[in-house]
Amino acid sequence: MRSRRGSIGAHTFLVAACVAMAGPFVWELLTSFKTLTEATRVPPTWLPPHWHGSSYSSVFDTVPFGGMLVNSVINTLARTAAQLLFCSMAAYAFARLRFPGRSLLFGLFLSILLVPSQLLIIPQYQIIENLHLLNTRTALFLPGMFSAFGTFLLRQFFLAMPLELEEAARLDGAGPLRVYWSVMLPLARPGLIALGILTMIWSWNDLLWPLVVNTDPHKMPLSAGLASLQGQFMTDYPGADGRGADGHDPGDRRLRGPATTGHRGHRPDRNEGMRMSELRIGVVGAGQRAKLATHAHRPGVARVVACADPSPRGQAHARQLFGEDVALYEDWHALPAGELDAVFVLTPDHLHAAPALHFLDAGVAVFVDKPMAITLPDCDALLASAARTGTRLYIGHNLRHLPMLRRMRELIEDGAVGEVKAVWCRHFVGHGGDYYFKDWHAERANTTGLLLQKGAHDLDVIHWLAGGYSREVVALGGLTVYGANPHRRAAENGSGSGSGSGSGSGSDTESLMSDWFDVGAWPPSQLRDLNPVIDVEDLSQMLTRLDNGVFTSYQQCHYSPDYWRNYTVIGDAGRLENFGDGIDGDPAEIRVWNRKRSGYRSDADLVIPISDSAPEGLHGGADSALVAEFLRFAAVGGPTETSPVAAREAVAAGVAATESLRSGGVPVAVAAPDPAVAAHFAESAGHHRRVSSIPASTL
């Protein structure tokens, strides 16, 4: 009887313990069907008053789990099938086939087990990059298609099998392949099953390698998606007034890293009802370039929540682009820096520096449209502020994301032309009259000159392709066409275009370029309503010597009938050139001559068509790729294709070239950045390192 009572007591205790252990899991499950307000109600309730599935839909909106599941299945099945095939073939060869050096070769092969897998990541990454497989599903499973461990495991199974079975098969006329497939593999089924299970587990849980070779979430496996979900940098603490249930501001108890706060740590969140997994974006300037920020307005990932523009039309434009819920301000000083994770500075170029410095000092990640600024002191101030505060600074040099130029750089890095010696760029700005001579761009006070304002991202690409920065420059040019055009817009209040921070142009800060653009106006003398003041050049040519010895040239014409840019790269073992640039959906191709000398040959040694399947958007999809990289950079850091130091170097080259041009073509030295500041960005994991030109000895 005592034993029976003891047994009942023990079972009662165990059942109670099980209920206590299961309680938190049941609570989590039930809470997932509550609204945020219901989940934080005091006193809490077990059952949801109303059952909601919004939490689950939010998760799937944030991370594309469906596609990631498919990627994981493909990756796991491909790795497992390949491992079973290749490892069993190698194991059979090492166990049964006799050939000279078999034992030595097997020992060397087995020594791979002694090498930590982390040491193989860099060479494997370089192989994947050279095969142009980055951001593909193939990159996930290719390095895992065989292993020394799998070969060793199956070899032991093959060695344990009686030789008589193999000899009997040979007497029946079976060759090595038939013996392997029909005799040995069926007998090694236990080993194959064991290897298959282990490979499936390793492949399904692999996290590091997918993150190394992929930046596209749609090509990631499920393991990366779960890690991303667990690592979301924000947590929702709702309340009736935007505070948590305990009355404290959620930002006061929520850890947020330098991805959104720089070195300033915590920052309060006052946006009631906003999903805390979203980056909150502010925009300064709702003019012609404001459309760029629409690529950042991606509910579930990022949301434009505030915009500053002094003009009523600019504010109306902001509502049109970002929705009725966007908060509008006339002055960017009024933007609530404490409630923003990142800011786009899209003002006219001469107004970039002040708001960018303000938000950098506030610890808010900043995107500055190119050019970075129109003077070197402003550029250096931005770099110094970002280095001092540790806040993330990103410059919108979108051409580094243009498919044609990215492919051109890959060819250079692959040694297609040998060691780079010269880079030439011809920029035919067919719409230059409409784009740059009817508004504030036409005045030096607002741009310094079009060699800087328009040429900044071409100069950046020249540096990028050549692997160096300009250190000496000469330039010539002038106002050769538009200066003689008498059809000017009347100046108001005795002013020119004005320099207001509004959206527009001319003395009318309500205007946008789309209001006056007319592709049918030809020749350029037919253009009307030019800016009252025009003191920038419409034809410019510059030559530069880079710090690595490469010579470059850049030509810019604002009244050509066609609109595109042509790059030519010459090395000591070849030449490449683009025909068409793909920016407006036009067909583009890169031609490479590197096998023999000849006269003119249109049939180049290598012709690479540039796919027209780039993402939709301005600049051949480069704008959307640029903004996607900035959002990732603002959230988690990491390397970027653009570089603040490189952006400053492009401005420096443009400033020096403009000085040379206006001084009669005298050589001008290009000022280098502060070495300490440059070293900060070079050593930072958050910025792209400059690549030197490729020596011929490595080809």
Nearest to 237 by CA among 223, 226, 248: 248
Residue 242's pLDDT is: 35
Q: What pLDDT does 466 receive?
A: 97
pLDDT of 58: 66
Site of tokens 């070197």: 376
Q: What tens digit of pLDDT does each residue of 452-486 get?
A: 999 999 999 999 999 999 999 999 999 999 999 99
* pLDDT exceeds 60 at position 614: no
DSSP 557: E
pLDDT at residue 253, as a whole number: 29
Interatomic CA distance for residues 528 and 506, integer angstroms = 13
267 or 386: which leads in pLDDT: 386
Cα–Cα distance measured from residue 364 to residue 341, given in angstroms and rounded to the nearest whole number: 6
For the chain, give the percent of residues with pLDDT over 70.
83
Instruction: Using DSSP bridges, classify how beta strands 327-329 and 302-308 pair: parallel, antiparallel or unpaired.
Output: parallel
Indicate if 399-488+516-685 has the same CATH topology as 279-396.
no
pLDDT digits (tens, 9 = 90+) for 530-559: 999 999 999 999 999 999 999 999 999 999
pLDDT band for position 493 (50/70/90)?
low
Strand 342-345 and strand 365-369: the pairing is: parallel
Q: Could you give the strand order of the β-sheet that contains 327-329, starting from the edge strand earlier in sequence?
A: 327-329, 302-308, 279-284, 342-345, 365-369, 393-396
Q: What is the torsional sign of CA 370, 372, 376, 378? A: positive
Distance, in Å, from the CA atom of 222 to the CA atom of 63, rounded to the nearest integer, reads 10
> Rounded to an integer, what is the distance from CA 419 to the centroid of its chain?
27
What tokens were used for 109?
């092969």
pLDDT at 36: 64
Checking phi first, is residue 242 left (phi over 0); if not, alpha (psi -120 to 50) or beta? left
Question: Cα(471)–Cα(126) distance, rounded to whole angstroms?
Answer: 32
Least confident of 6-15, 162-171, 487-496: 487-496
- Is residue 161 pLDDT above 70, yes or no? yes
Mean pLDDT throughout 242-253?
34
Q: 25-29, 174-178, 495-499: lowest mean pLDDT where?
A: 495-499
pLDDT (average), residues 634-654: 92
Q: pLDDT tens-digit profile of 551-590?
A: 999 999 999 999 999 999 999 999 999 999 888 777 899 9
SS3 of 585, please? coil
SS3 116: coil
Domain borders along the chain are 17-54, 65-228, 279-396, 399-488+516-685
Burial of 484 (0-12, 13-18, 19+ CB in 10 A): exposed
Per-residue pLDDT at 318: 93
Pairwise CA distance, residues 505 & 525, whole Å: 20
- Mean pLDDT taken over the chain: 83
Q: Nearest-CA neighbor of 493 among 471, 508, 478, 513?
A: 508
Q: Hey, what CATH topology would domain 65-228 get?
A: MetI-like fold (1.10.3720)
In this prediction, residues 503-526 reach a mean pLDDT of 67
- Which among 60, 61, 39 has a CA at the least distance from the CA of 48? 39
pLDDT bin (cut points 50, 70, 90) of residue 61 is low
State percent of the chain over pLDDT 90. Answer: 48
CATH class of 399-488+516-685: alpha beta
Q: Is the model more confident about 21 or about 613?
A: 21
279-396 maps to which CATH number?
Answer: 3.40.50.720
Alpha carbon of 584 to those of 367, 617, 618, 619: distances in Å? 24, 9, 8, 6
